Structure formats: C-alpha cells, structure tokens
Amino acid sequence: MSTFHCQFSFYNGPIDLLLYLVRKHELDILNIPIASILEQYLDYLAVLEMIDVNAAGEFLALASTLIEIKSFEILPGEEAVEEELEAPRQELVTQLLEYKKFCDVANELEERSRTWQLRIPRLANDLPPRSRDLGAERIREVELWDLVNAFSRIVRENAPQKSLILVDDETPISTHMNRIHEQLKVEERVAFRRLFLPGQHKSTMIGIFQATLELVRHEYAYVYQDILFGEIELALRESSKPFDFAALETATI
C-alpha cells in the first residue's frame, strides 16, 4: 500500500482515508453514498495539499474517481449509464474490501502481540536486539485522520485576516517541537487546539501541526481523546532519549 510521502511516512494513502471515513460514519462499503463521502474527502485533501501539494497526487487521483462516480450517479438512469458507473464503483469497493482485510489482520496480530506480552517472559533472551524505526510507525492513540480533521477545523476557525502582503514563516519544525515539549513538561496535558493562536499565519500553523506529529511518532508525547469525538489532547510521555529535536528534523528530511 502506498504512503503519503511528505515528511511523514505513516500517512497510509487515499484508500486508508476513504476506509476511515466509511468506518467513522458507519457506512456500508458495498453501498457508499459517494456525494457525502466526496465532500468530506475533499476537505481532508485540502489539508494534505497545505502540507505538501506535490505529495497529494495519489489522493487527487482517488478524488477524480469519486467525482467520476458521482457524475454518473446524477445522470438519468439509463442502462448504458449504469454500466459505465459499475466499473469504477466495483473497482473502488474491491480496493476497500482488500485494504480492510489487510487492516483487520494487522489489528488481530497486534492484539495477539499484546496478549503474549502479558505472559511470563523467558529468563534468557537469545534473540539479537532489533532497532525500531519510530519514524516509520503509525500514531496509535488517536487516528491520524482525526488529527487532520481537528487541524482542518482549527485552520478555518483561526483563519487570519486577508492581507496583500505575502508572509512565509520559515521557523524550523524543531523550534516548534521544543516549545510544545517545554509546555508539556509544565502542564503535562495540553488541548491540541491550544497549540494554535487566532490569526496565526497558515505556514506557522502547518509547522506546529508537523511538530505535533513528530513529537508523537518519536514517542515524546501521546495524543488521545477521553471520549469519542471529544477534545483531542497532547500529553507528555516520559522518555529516556535525549531531546535533540534539531537532529530529528534533519533525519526526517
């Protein structure tokens, strides 16, 4: 499965986003209401384009497929139109079902792993140590797409006033990471929306969002919700690793 190749390799591509929307709204995969899904999909795509417009090509391709299916759906119900509609819709359903099967197996294996970890470990470990690539692992506490959705709402709510002067904030992500981490050390828990200020430039907000993702995937912070659809919060995670955020940023590029 292809990934969203901006600075974050754990974006799992357009089918992952589509399956997330189907599950979120408890829809039938075999009979997806394309019109409503398309509108939401395009909202998420807008956020991904803000982060890296060149990396959103695969998402744009699926958006084109959804638009094509929607266009056929609003045409008169002639037999020829139905045949034209069936091919792209069936291909999309097949991809979703295959990806869902893959995700379900992965989740089952992960659950088995947790169960085995509760068993009594052997006294001697004859297995060679294995290094973990934290940057390649997904955010687990909260769905990544939940964070994207929350960020999208914050951008709309905190939209700065229009100006004829173009400003581009080039603050390093490591600077945002250090500021957020210091805030977490003091407060321990911070609402995700509190990381942003009204009127902030969009490039600054994107930098803060990227810094949040970096802190989570490198295990310096947790992201979670106490209740479904509740406030998304960031919490400090104790770590024995040095806080060399500038080095992390260099390794990510």
Instruction: State what percent of residues in the chain have pLDDT above 90.
Output: 18
DSSP the chain: ---B-SS-TTB--HHHHHHHHHHHTT--GGG--HHHHHHHHHHHHHHHHHH-GGG-HHHHHHHHHHHHHHHHHTS---HHHHHHHHHHHHHHHHHHHHHHHHHHHHHHHHHHHHHHHTSPPPS---SPP----GGGSPP-SS-HHHHHHHHHHHHHHTPPPP-SS-------HHHHHHHHHHHHHHHSEEEGGGGS-TT--HHHHHHHHHHHHHHHHTTSEEEEESSTT--EEEEE----S---HHHHHHHH-
Q: What is the pLDDT of residues 111-147, one digit of tens each?
A: 787 777 777 655 555 545 555 454 444 444 567 888 8
What is the pTM for the complete model shown? Answer: 0.70
| Whether the predicted pLDDT of 82 surpasses 70 | no
- Domain segments of the chain as ranges: 14-117, 137-252
Confidence band of 208 (pLDDT split at 50, 70, 90): very high
- pLDDT, residue 25, reads 87
CATH class of the domain at 137-252: mainly alpha
